[in-house]
A = this chain, B = another copy of it.
Amino acid sequence: MTGPHRDNRSPHRPPLEVGDVQLEPAEITELLDRFLTDARRRKIDEVLEQRTYHVVSVLDGIYDRGNVSAVIRSAEALGYQSMHVIESQDHFKEANRVTQGTDKWLDIERYPTPEPCIETLRRRGYRIVATELEASTPIADVSFEQPTALVFGNEKDGVSKQIREAADERMVLPMVGFAQSYNISVSAALAFQHVFERRRAELGQQGDLTEREYDILRALYTLRSVDKPERLVRGLRNRDLDNPE
């Protein structure tokens, strides 16, 4: 055990379940790829090239579901595959009007309290960087060389006590007017873009999936792109069993 294993960052542990069967990612892609349009296949390739688990986001007790949904949409648009949501009170569903369905492309993990979320982030090797309003490091001076979890706190009190204590760093966004804060969905978008632009400048691109992460996501995106994948898979497998080579 010498530090976190690189392949520990995906929350998925194949084989993956499709209806009542368990399949490896490559099997899913092989079975279902024929049902994708060319445009969709190209889109999946493009998206995968720009996906990362290197920086993930954590929403810590955000009340307003419109805000959660807006953050999901921005994260998805800028390539951040993994999001952790510490539920504020009741469980809730995102406002679909605002996510525009983008939540289905992300790995969204939910927790009832901060502790199991912190535990998961540590196990996967993330530094925890909490966004704060004051007395913190400007985002431009924060290093994102190590895998980093960006935490956004709730509208009223910011991040929770537990996250604040666990945080390796506290960062602020640029703010040079009379305004005391940004709307939470704006904060998250600004942080996402800042890191995105830095990664593009330093690495040439946002995306950095391992081969395994790539294969898993390709299978999942394919599953989510076809209608009734469980039925398709069952039909194809039955046919193969009836007609062995």
Q: A interface vs B, CB < 8 Å?
A: 43, 46-47, 50, 70, 73-74, 76-79, 98, 100, 102, 105, 140, 174-183, 185-186, 189-190, 193-194, 196-197, 206-207
Q: Give chain B residues whose Cβ lies under 8 Å from the Cβ of A185.
A: 183, 185-186
Q: Give chain B residues whose Cβ lies under 8 Å from the Cβ of A196.
A: 174
Residue of B with least CB distance to A73: B179
Give the copy number: 2
Not counting A47-B178, A78-B175, A189-B189, a sample of 9 additional A-B residue pairs whose C-beta atoms are within 8 angstroms of each other reads: A43-B178, A47-B176, A73-B182, A77-B177, A77-B182, A78-B176, A174-B196, A176-B207, A193-B194
Cα distance, A131 to B176, chains bound together (Å): 24
Residue of B with least CB distance to A70: B183
Q: Give chain B residues whose Cβ lies under 8 Å from the Cβ of A190.
A: 189-190, 193
Q: Give chain B residues whose Cβ lies under 8 Å from the Cβ of A43.
A: 178
Cα distance, A177 to B206, chains bound together (Å): 11
Q: What is the CB-to-nearest-CB distance from A140 to chain B, in angstroms, rounded to a whole number? A: 8
Q: Give chain B residues whose Cβ lies under 8 Å from the Cβ of A98.
A: 183
Cα distance, A73 to B74, chains bound together (Å): 19
